[in-house]
Amino acid sequence: MEFVYLEWTDSAGSDGSWIDDDLELARIKSVGIKVKETKKAITLAQSTDDNTPPKWDNMLIVPKKMITKKQILSF
């Protein structure tokens, strides 16, 4: 099992209320268990269980083109 720290850029939006025009791209920091990595994306999960195969909870897929920093964590 591999734990990963990612910094990545995400889109940003408004909730439809009146806002200024200074909306910026969001800089996101995520930590999770690496579920899968492909040429295009990395999939992280918040938690897993001990089933075979494992089941995952709160999954997030991040496009590799948006990742600005990746670090493998060790405990």
pTM for the model stands at 0.85
* Upstream peptide bond of 54 is cis (omega within 30 degrees of 0): no
CA 54/CA 35 separation, integer angstroms? 10
Task: Give 14-47 pLDDT, tens digit per residue.
Answer: 777 777 778 889 999 999 999 999 999 999 999 9
Instruction: Give the residue numbers spanning the domain of 51.
Output: 3-11+26-73
**Neighbouring residues of 24: CB distance < 8 A, sequence distance ≥ 6:** 12
Please report whether residue 16 resides in a domain: no
Residue for token pair 């268990």: 33
Beta bridge partners of residue 44, listed in sequence order: 34, 60
Query: Which pLDDT value is given to residue 18?
Result: 77
Name the phi and psi angles at 12, rounded to 5.
-135, 155
Domains held by the chain: number:
1
